[in-house]
Structure 1
C-alpha cells in the first residue's frame, strides 16, 4: 500500500474506533432489550488495525521499526 491509501485507512480506523467506543459507552435501554452488536470488541479490532496502519505509515516515511540484522 502506498502513502495516501495507508493514511486513509488509518483515518478510517480512527473514526470507526471513536464511533464504536461512543456506541458502546451509551447507557443500556431496558425497554429496547439487550444490545445485539458487540461495540467494544469492534472498537478494539479498529484500534489494532489503526496501530498496524500507523506502523506501516512510519515505515513508509523511512523509519525502520523491525529487528535489524546482526552480522
Structure 2
C-alpha cells in the first residue's frame, strides 16, 4: 500500500477515534432513549486501526518492526 493511502486511512481512523471517544464521554440522556451505537467499541476499533497504520508508516519509512531475521 502506498504512503498516501496509508496516511489517508490513518487520518480517518484518528478522526473516527476522536469523535467516538467524544461521544462515549457524553452523559446518557434517558429522555432520548438508549444509545443505539456502541461508541466505546467503535473508539477501540478506530484506535486499533490508527495504531496499525502508524506501524505501517514506520515500516514504509524503513524501521523494521516485528521479529527480525538474524
TM over 0.5: yes
2:54 matched residue in structure 1 = 54
Q: Distance in 1 between matches of 2:62 and 2:36?
A: 43
Q: Distance in 2 between matches of 1:25 and 1:7?
A: 27
Per-residue CA distance 1:26-70 (angstroms, 9 max, x = gap): 111110111111000000000000010000000001111121113
Q: Distance in 2 between matches of 1:50 and 1:11?
A: 8
> Which runs of 5 or more residues in structure 1 are unaligned?
none
Q: Provide the alpha-carbon RMSD of the alignment.
A: 0.7
* Count of residues paired in the alignment: 70
Task: List, as ranges, runs of 4+ consecutive aligned residues in structure 1 with deviation greater than 2 Å.
Answer: none
> Which runs of 5 or more residues in structure 2 are unaligned?
none
Give me the TM-score of the superposition, normalised by structure 2: 0.95
